[in-house]
Homo-oligomer: A and B are copies of this chain.
Amino acid sequence: MPLEIERKFLVKGAAWRALVGESGRWIRQGYLCRDPQRTVRVRIYGEEGFLTIKTEGENISRDEFEYGIPSAHASELLERVCLRPLIEKIRYRIPWGRLTIEVDEFHGENSGLIVAEVEFPDAHTVLEPPDWLGEDVSLDLRYRNSQLAFRPYATWK
């Protein structure tokens, strides 16, 4: 069973941009189901299409089932079938010790939001956080992408 242990942080300032070695990759995604017990996500990541089911685990662990699908299907599902609004963001990967910090810079209706995600190989690995990592929002449901596709950042003010 694929298990995901992930923490999510707000990003402070722009210092992280100096650490980005590669250009970011464009992500476009939408949801067929936003129920936290069983979200179903359609994603185009670069040129690849994915269908992903996530289900609620305890605390910060979630089960994830991910399948590659033809990007033409993903594109059609996003255009015609997924709930609105879609999520659009650029993902940057920053190596950090033995871990990788993924910084997501949102666009569209979530423009202005920048969050960092760290996936841990196990529950014992420790992150030495860089200065630009802000508040831990792992348990704040508003920052879930499935929720940002329902109540986008632009509507929070």
Contact = CB atoms under 8 A, between A and B. Distances in A.
Interface stretch (A32-40, A93-101, A113-121): A32-40
A81 interface: yes
Interface residues of A, number: 21
Contacts of A77: 53, 65
A116 B83 CA distance: 32
Nearest to A68: B67
A66 to B, nearest CB: 10
A73 interface: yes
Contact of A38 (B63, B73, B81): B81
B82 A38 contact: yes
Interface in A76-93: 76-77, 80-83
Contact of A33 (B33, B51, B76): B33
A15 interface: no
